[in-house]
A and B are shown apart, each in its own frame.
Chain A
Amino acid sequence: MVIVDGAGIILLVNSQAERMFGYERAEIVGRPIETLVPERFRPRHESDRNGYLAAPRVRGMGEGLTLYGRRRDGTEVPVEISLSPIDIGTGRCVIASIRDVTERRRVERVLAEKNAELQAANEAKDRFFASMSHELRTPLNAILGFTGTMLMRLPGPLTTTQEDQLRIVQRSSRHLLGLINDLLDLARIGSGKLEVRAETIVCQRALAEIVEALLPAAQERGLALTSSGPEAPMEICTDARALAQILFNLTSNAIKFTERGSVHVTISAAGTAARFSVRDTGIGIAEADCARLFQPFARLESHAQEGSGLGLHVSQQLAHLLGGRISVESSPGAGSVFTLELPRPS
């Protein structure tokens, strides 16, 4: 603390100020306050000081700009200053409380540097994901491509065994591709990089696209794939791609794990939520298994090696990202119902 008179002469300093500026009290009392101000700020300080005295008011800590004090040895110290006018018998004085903010400035600088480092690391990670996606998909192009051309019999006829084996190559490659896509999605969700772009979409239309895309797969397995919903278009505001990915995953799972019967998807309104329910007539899931179904690689023994083991986990993460959730109701032998609930504008 420093007390200055109307002419800017130091009347009093406390021991804290002595330590901060490196002066003995006797050396500094009686000298102009500008002694404690770096040379480059002195002219400005004098006029500011006169302005302040003309219209004095209490000025709190941190209200001022970046301020600097000058120590006895000429070094500068970043400070925050609060001012209060005080009238004593001989005239108006000002009490200045001065706080050394060297440490805070240092912490702020370190934080800013750390932030920049983190941002750079995040950008490096994004670039890594993008290249990894590219590099992993490139060889799969040739594998899936030439498997496909052979299965199309473009180079010539195939024996039954050759065809069977090529189908296995094709299935395994698609499995690998699915795994790569899921892993990359998961990595992006984890790093907060999967942006949710909300737009108004019609639930019935979103579902119709999924049903159309998966109808061939259902027919191939001899299953009926149907959907139903309210007559009036039901609108929600959500990320269309994420919704499509979840619905695709739940519906294709149902097809994959149902031996005979049907898969039926319904849309309904449930209070302020939109509800998509995928009901199958598959083998069902034991209660104990339902709980861990959404964990990564929680593939159930009853469900062989189909799927990446990440699909439901990714879908649940996506549902959370959309402000919703996926739940499951099932019991062995009674089929399963997977329900996606998403918030709706009220």
Chain B
Amino acid sequence: MSARILLVEDNPANVELIEYLLRAFHHTVVSARDSEAALALAMASPPDLILLDIQLRGPSGFDVLRSLRAQPTLASVPVVAVTAFAMVGDRERILAAGFDGYLTKPIEPETFVADVERFLPGRHAQP
């Protein structure tokens, strides 16, 4: 089952990695490097799921999440944080902010796509 996924990530190597993995498993990926591009892409064509880095240049992932949720067409799109913030308390902080899920970097390539797919609408997801 192929999904449309929006990736918001500013590190080029990580964009390439995550795009590559998702496409290898037949998902469609569009990528944005910053908050502005992310909102434009998401509003132009609402994706099935959004993967959002927390530390972006300019507005942070938390800001992007708020802007996404403020759009009626995007309010129900699941948003999963993919972040290298993996210290104690980060997970709680991120889930409390309203993310649907939290995946840490470095990602596990073998399980990453399956981990992402759990958050697609219609599947039983647990953060």
- State A17–B30 Cα separation when bound (angstroms): 82
Residues of chain A lying within 8 A (CB to CB) of residue B14: 138, 141-142, 145
Interface of A is mostly: helix
Query: Are A133 and B13 interface neighbours, CB within 8 A?
Result: no
Query: Are A144 and B109 interface neighbours, CB within 8 A?
Result: yes
Query: Are B84 and A152 interface neighbours, CB within 8 A?
Result: no
Segment with Cβ contacts to A, from B58-66, B70-78, B100-108: B100-108
**With A149-B20, A149-B21, A149-B24 in contact, is A133–B84 under 8 Å at CB?**
yes
Residues 125-157 of A, flagged 1 when their CB comes within 8 A of B and 0 if not, give 000011001110111111111111101101000
- State A69–B17 Cα separation when bound (angstroms): 73
Interface residues on A, range: 20 to 34
Segment with Cβ contacts to A, from B40-48, B85-93, B115-123: B85-93
Top 9 closest pairs, chain A to chain B, by CB: A148-B109, A142-B13, A137-B84, A145-B17, A141-B105, A141-B106, A144-B106, A134-B84, A154-B24
Query: Are A137 and B86 interface neighbours, CB within 8 A?
Result: yes
- State A173–B109 Cα separation when bound (angstroms): 14
Residues of chain B lying within 8 A (CB to CB) of residue A129: 87
Min CB distance B114 to A, Å, is 12
Q: Which of A83-107 contact B (CB under 8 A)?
A: none
- State A139–B11 Cα separation when bound (angstroms): 9
A11 interface residue per 8 A CB criterion: no
Residues of chain B lying within 8 A (CB to CB) of residue A141: 11, 13-14, 17, 84, 105-107
Residues 315-328 of A, flagged 1 when their CB comes within 8 A of B and 0 if not, give 00000000000000
Min CB distance A170 to B, Å, is 10
- State A149–B21 Cα separation when bound (angstroms): 7
Tell which of B17, B18, B87 touches A133, judged by Cβ atoms closer than 8 Å. B87
Q: Which of A171-207 contact B (CB under 8 A)?
A: 173, 177, 184, 188, 194-195
A241 interface residue per 8 A CB criterion: yes
- State A173–B89 Cα separation when bound (angstroms): 25
**With A146-B17, A149-B21 in contact, is A137–B105 under 8 Å at CB?**
yes
Query: Are B107 and A195 interface neighbours, CB within 8 A?
Result: no
Query: Are B55 and A134 interface neighbours, CB within 8 A?
Result: yes
Query: Are B110 and A154 interface neighbours, CB within 8 A?
Result: no
Most interface-central of B18, B20, B87, B104 (chain A CB within 10 A) = B87
- State A195–B92 Cα separation when bound (angstroms): 14
Residues of chain A lying within 8 A (CB to CB) of residue B13: 139, 141-142
- State A146–B109 Cα separation when bound (angstroms): 8
Of chain B, the residue at the smallest CB distance from A239 is B88
- State A137–B16 Cα separation when bound (angstroms): 16
Query: Are A138 and B88 interface neighbours, CB within 8 A?
Result: no
Given contacts A135-B84, A144-B106, A195-B89, 15 further A-B contacts (CB under 8 A): A129-B87, A130-B85, A133-B85, A137-B84, A140-B105, A141-B17, A141-B107, A142-B13, A142-B14, A145-B17, A148-B110, A149-B109, A177-B106, A184-B87, A241-B88
